[in-house]
């Protein structure tokens, strides 16, 4: 079949077929560029200050805040090559391209003469580098523009001085500074030495480019800088680092969280060809943030031998207090807790009275199990510890935090720790936790040699920092006219905070703020509660975090309410969202709001309504579909972006589910690279479908029951939606940028579940779908 013969395939295809200029970035040329004297001086004093101008962000509340200094981020070599530092972690969002692109835009640099240099983990120098929470563009669009504008101003000042003309008469255009009056021009490379001597302009004095004149931003025409290397196998991930004399290690870890090593017998392991040593690895008592679990390491000349050696180990474990963790019993306990009053975290009106007076009360109880991240690259790290110095190569989302933790773990000063950021073969929150790098550091110190620690897929599935497990229970009271007058939402789940502090039984503000207390519906009586739940394993951030169960519950309930009141899902949704307004969260003690000031990033129901209308319009809401097909819709604001999704599902007589079409509308404010937004949203549909169909980690006797991709399956290409369309809301003037990496996931599952209901009349309230549709 020719692709062009199929109009369905053609959609969303034509726009990809455009020539993308691929610039190969050679590490050597970058280093050379940076090493050349006379360019910008890189060892600059740190100038940390708040981002300013049209909007405020939470960037400066992050550890180490924001650094706005062109001497830290930009180097220009005499040959004109501009090197721009990428200080955030690249895990597939394209941030390693888009942040430097912002600098290049404001400098008016020619992208083909720009090289990207990955920063080390050094937050004092670069500002916060913790790449999670869908924050990079949101926090760095303005600072990167300011850095680029500073560099441009310094180049213009240097040119003006050289020509003896007022700086107002010159301007930077495409890698040169021009003086129109005399027709003189000079390249960035020729100006580099002089520009480096110019004073860095005050931020308040900077003139930012008029967005009308943007060459790169908002266009989506620049391919990611690693594209060529990725397609040729040269891209360097954590496990690809090789050092002379390096040893290969795999570790047997306690199967129960909080368990300890009993005894081990290494005799058989040592007989395996290539195995060199078997040794104990220090573990920390649970909870201990990201510290290693401990266990027994097998050291070998290659990873294959290390794995074989580990298979031959005889180990006993003391399971400890979590040895009774059982997912079936735990679910029953969560359900029980959700049926009783809990800590009130939002209260408007009188929900008890309103439910009592309601004509009808609809109750929905929704269950979402633990999920494992399972990035395609299992955790791996290389460490080279020599005396009181450590160098680490690792795919970490938080290189600054990793540096801190390595220093603490080894008892050496942070200044003595170098964190080299490799590419991440997927992160999804797993690689926010640097336990694997700490293991490598401990082993390297003991062995006095460079060590690579490779997690096998089994290790990854069994020892993850899992997505929490939750019951969300919603009671909605309707009056005689079918209007919702009361809404009680109880959310019970072990908190991520339990990984940091023993005895945690309530969710933290950052979890409550993900779709519970920030619920945007216009209802007179609202109460949100958080009953207690204790953790029995390591809980961590998983892409979109608590928004996944919350959007699943809230948006499924909208579908249920539409059904019982005999209304169209979309109409029901818009009625609940209510009038265009800024949602008043004054009744909430800590609204969190993704760490952003509410003044810049309020919950704006006009924007929520707009994505619903846009996706309904573009996605053909209400279109007639074949028998056995159904349409479902859901909307959710997360990471301060607004996203609505329509899923068309087809369920055959046997209950086999396929997805012919997905449409998603996203309003993420001002954006940098719409092509990468599109790819993130396409991917979010796959992840959403994957977790809805299959995602489930269960425990028995304290141990994870799954081990690899056979019993924790991920969606495959033959099950992928036939077409996924992405519709991006054009930003209004000065709309602050908001998140993209995560917000695509939460609305997918409820849109799918609502579609399944439309197709089959079956309401699924527990994920994964698994065999629930089978007949």
Partner 1 sequence: MIKLKINGQEHSWDGDPNLSLLWFLRDEAGLTGTKYGCGVALCGACTVIVDKEAARACITSVSDVVGREVTTIEGLHATGDHPVQKAWRQLNVPQCGFCQVGQIMQAAALLMENPKPSHDQIREAMSGNLCRCGCYQRIENAIHLASMGV
How buried is residue 97: exposed, middle or buried, by Cβ count under 10 Å (0-12/13-18/19+)? buried
Q: Which of 255, 283, 425, 736 binds partner 1 (CB under 8 A)?
A: 425
Separation between Cα atoms, residue 725 and residue 619, nearest integer Å: 8
Question: Any contact of residue 16 with partner 1 (CB under 8 A)?
Answer: yes
Q: Which of 50, 78, 426, 597 binds partner 1 (CB under 8 A)?
A: 426
Question: Any contact of residue 112 with partner 1 (CB under 8 A)?
Answer: no
Separation between Cα atoms, residue 353 and residue 351, nearest integer Å: 6
Q: Which is nearer to partner 1, 416 or 708 (CB)?
A: 708
Separation between Cα atoms, residue 380 and residue 49, nearest integer Å: 35
- Nearest alpha-carbon partner for 668 in 658, 676, 660, 657: 676
| Smallest separation, CB 665 to partner 1 (Å) | 17
Q: Which is nearer to partner 1, 232 or 316 (CB)?
A: 232
Question: Any contact of residue 13 with partner 1 (CB under 8 A)?
Answer: yes
The tokens for 686 are 């796959």
| Smallest separation, CB 210 to partner 1 (Å) | 28
The interface with partner 1 within residues 295-334 (CB under 8 A) comprises 301-305, 307-308
Question: Any contact of residue 98 with partner 1 (CB under 8 A)?
Answer: no
Q: Which of 200, 334, 423, 554 binds partner 1 (CB under 8 A)?
A: 423
Q: Which is nearer to partner 1, 229 or 472 (CB)?
A: 229
| Smallest separation, CB 233 to partner 1 (Å) | 2
Q: Which of 25, 44, 160, 227 binds partner 1 (CB under 8 A)?
A: 227
The interface with partner 1 within residues 245-264 (CB under 8 A) comprises 248
Separation between Cα atoms, residue 220 and residue 85, nearest integer Å: 20
Query: If DSSP codes are grouped into helix, strand and coil, which group holds residue 376?
Result: coil
Q: Which of 105, 156, 240, 596 binds partner 1 (CB under 8 A)?
A: 240
In 10 A of CB 516, how many CB atoms? 25
Question: Any contact of residue 427 with partner 1 (CB under 8 A)?
Answer: yes
The site string for partner 1 over 559-588 (x = CB under 8 A, - otherwise) reads: ------------------------------
| Smallest separation, CB 495 to partner 1 (Å) | 25
Q: Which is nearer to partner 1, 596 or 663 (CB)?
A: 663
The interface with partner 1 within residues 17-56 (CB under 8 A) comprises 17-20, 22
Q: Which is nearer to partner 1, 305 or 497 (CB)?
A: 305
DSSP string, 488-552: EEEEE---GGGGTSTT--S--HHHHTTTTTT-----SEEEEEE-----SS-B---TTTTHHHHHH
The interface with partner 1 within residues 454-513 (CB under 8 A) comprises 454, 456-458
Q: Which of 45, 233, 244, 626 binds partner 1 (CB under 8 A)?
A: 233
Contact 1, 715 (CB under 8 A): no
Residue 55, CB-side half-sphere exposure with 13 Å CA sphere: 23
- Nearest alpha-carbon partner for 397 in 422, 420, 431: 431
Question: Any contact of residue 374 with partner 1 (CB under 8 A)?
Answer: yes
Separation between Cα atoms, residue 515 and residue 753, nearest integer Å: 18
The site string for partner 1 over 155-194 (x = CB under 8 A, - otherwise) reads: ----------------------------------------
Question: Any contact of residue 274 with partner 1 (CB under 8 A)?
Answer: yes
Q: Which of 724, 735, 738, 754 binds partner 1 (CB under 8 A)?
A: 724
Separation between Cα atoms, residue 193 and residue 190, nearest integer Å: 7
Q: Which is nearer to partner 1, 62 or 423 (CB)?
A: 423
The interface with partner 1 within residues 681-720 (CB under 8 A) comprises 682-687, 690, 708-710, 714-718, 720
- Nearest alpha-carbon partner for 185 in 163, 166, 161, 167: 163
Per-residue burial over 30-51, b if 16 or more Cβ lie within 10 Å, else e, is beebbebeebbebebeeeeeeb
Query: If DSSP codes are grouped into helix, strand and coil, which group holds residue 576?
Result: helix
Q: Which of 197, 234, 589, 623 binds partner 1 (CB under 8 A)?
A: 234
Which range, of 90-98, 153-161, 183-191, 478-486, touches partner 1 by CB under 8 A? 90-98
Separation between Cα atoms, residue 102 and residue 149, nearest integer Å: 10
Question: Any contact of residue 242 with partner 1 (CB under 8 A)?
Answer: yes
């Amino acid at each position: 079949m020719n692709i062009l013969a199929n109009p369905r395939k053609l959609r969303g295809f034509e726009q990809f077929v455009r020539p993308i200029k691929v610039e190969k970035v050679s590490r050597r040329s970058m280093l050379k560029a940076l090493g050349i004297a006379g360019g910008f001086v890189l060892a600059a004093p740190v100038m940390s200050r708040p981002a300013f101008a049209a909007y405020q962000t939470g960037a400066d509340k992050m550890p180490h805040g924001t650094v706005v200094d062109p001497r830290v981020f930009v180097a220009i070599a005499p040959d004109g090559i501009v090197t721009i530092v990428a200080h955030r972690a690249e895990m597939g969002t394209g941030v390693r391209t888009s942040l430097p692109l912002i600098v290049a835009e404001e400098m008016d640099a020619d992208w083909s003469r720009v090289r990207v240099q990955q920063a080390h983990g050094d937050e004092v120098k670069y500002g916060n580098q913790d790449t999670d929470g869908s924050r990079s563009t949101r926090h760095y669009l303005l600072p990167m523009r300011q850095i680029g504008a500073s560099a441009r101003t310094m180049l213009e000042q240097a040119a003006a001085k050289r020509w003896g003309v007022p700086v107002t008469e010159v301007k930077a255009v495409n890698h040169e500074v021009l003086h129109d009056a005399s027709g003189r021009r000079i390249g960035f490379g020729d100006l580099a030495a002089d520009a480096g001597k110019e004073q860095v302009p005050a931020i308040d004095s900077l003139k930012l480019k008029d967005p009308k004149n943007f060459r790169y931003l908002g266009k989506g025409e620049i391919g990611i800088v690693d594209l060529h290397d990725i397609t040729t196998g040269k891209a360097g991930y954590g496990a690809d680092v090789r050092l002379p004399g390096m040893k290969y290690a795999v570790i047997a870890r306690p199967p129960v969280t909080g368990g300890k090593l009993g005894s081990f017998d290494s005799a058989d392991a040592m007989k395996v060809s290539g195995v060199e040593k078997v040794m104990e690895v220090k573990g920390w008592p649970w909870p201990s943030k990201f510290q290693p679990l401990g266990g027994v390491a097998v050291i070998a000349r290659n990873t294959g031998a290390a794995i074989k050696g580990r298979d031959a180990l005889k180990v006993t474990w003391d399971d400890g207090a979590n040895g009774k963790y059982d997912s079936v019993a735990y679910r029953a306990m969560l359900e029980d807790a959700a049926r009783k009053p809990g800590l009130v975290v939002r209260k408007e009106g009188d929900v008890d009275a309103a439910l009592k007076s309601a004509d009808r009360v609809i109750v929905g109880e929704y269950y979402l199990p633990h999920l494992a991240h399972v990035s395609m690259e299992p955790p791996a790290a290389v460490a080279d510890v020599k005396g009181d110095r450590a160098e680490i190569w690792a795919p970490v989302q938080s290189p600054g935090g990793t540096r801190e933790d390595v220093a603490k773990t080894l008892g050496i000063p942070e200044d003595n720790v170098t964190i080299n950021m490799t590419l991440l073969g997927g992160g999804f929150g797993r690689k926010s936790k640097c336990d694997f790098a700490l293991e490598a550091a401990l082993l390297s110190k003991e062995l006095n040699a460079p060590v690579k620690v490779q997690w096998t897929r089994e290790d990854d599935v069994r020892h993850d920092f899992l997505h929490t497990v939750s019951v969300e229970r919603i009671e909605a009271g309707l009056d005689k006219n079918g209007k919702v007058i009361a809404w009680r939402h109880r959310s019970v789940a072990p908190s991520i905070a339990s990984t940091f502090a023993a005895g945690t039984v309530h969710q933290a503000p950052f979890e409550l703020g993900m779709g519970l207390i920030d619920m945007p519906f216009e209802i007179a009586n609202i109460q949100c509660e958080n009953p207690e739940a204790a953790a029995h394993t390591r809980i961590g951030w998983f892409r979109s975090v608590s928004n996944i169960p919350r959007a699943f519950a809230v948006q499924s309930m909208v579908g249920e309410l539409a059904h019982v009141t005999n209304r169209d899902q979309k109409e029901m949704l818009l009625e609940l969202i209510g009038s265009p307004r800024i949602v008043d969260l004054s009744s909430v003690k800590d609204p969190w709001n993704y760490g952003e000031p509410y003044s810049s990033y309020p919950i704006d129901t006009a924007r929520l309504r707009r994505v619903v209308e846009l996706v309904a319009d573009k996605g053909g809401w209400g279109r007639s579909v074949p028998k056995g097909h159904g349409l479902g819709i859901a909307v959710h604001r997360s990471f301060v972006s607004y996203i609505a999704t329509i899923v068309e599902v087809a369920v055959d007589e046997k209950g086999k589910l396929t997805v012919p079409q997905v449409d998603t509308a996203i309003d993420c404010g001002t954006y940098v690279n719409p092509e990468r937004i599109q790819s993130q949203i396409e991917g979010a549909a796959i992840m959403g479908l994957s977790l809805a169909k299959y995602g489930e980690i269960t425990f028995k006797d304290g141990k994870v029951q799954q081990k690899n991709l056979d019993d924790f399956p991920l969606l495959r290409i033959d099950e992928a939606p036939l077409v996924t369309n992405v519709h991006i809301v054009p930003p209004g003037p000065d709309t602050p940028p908001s998140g993209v990496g995560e917000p695509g996931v939460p609305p997918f599952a409820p849109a799918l579940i609502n579609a399944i209901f439309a197709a089959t009349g079956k309401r699924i309230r527990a994920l994964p779908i698994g065999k629930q549709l089978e007949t």
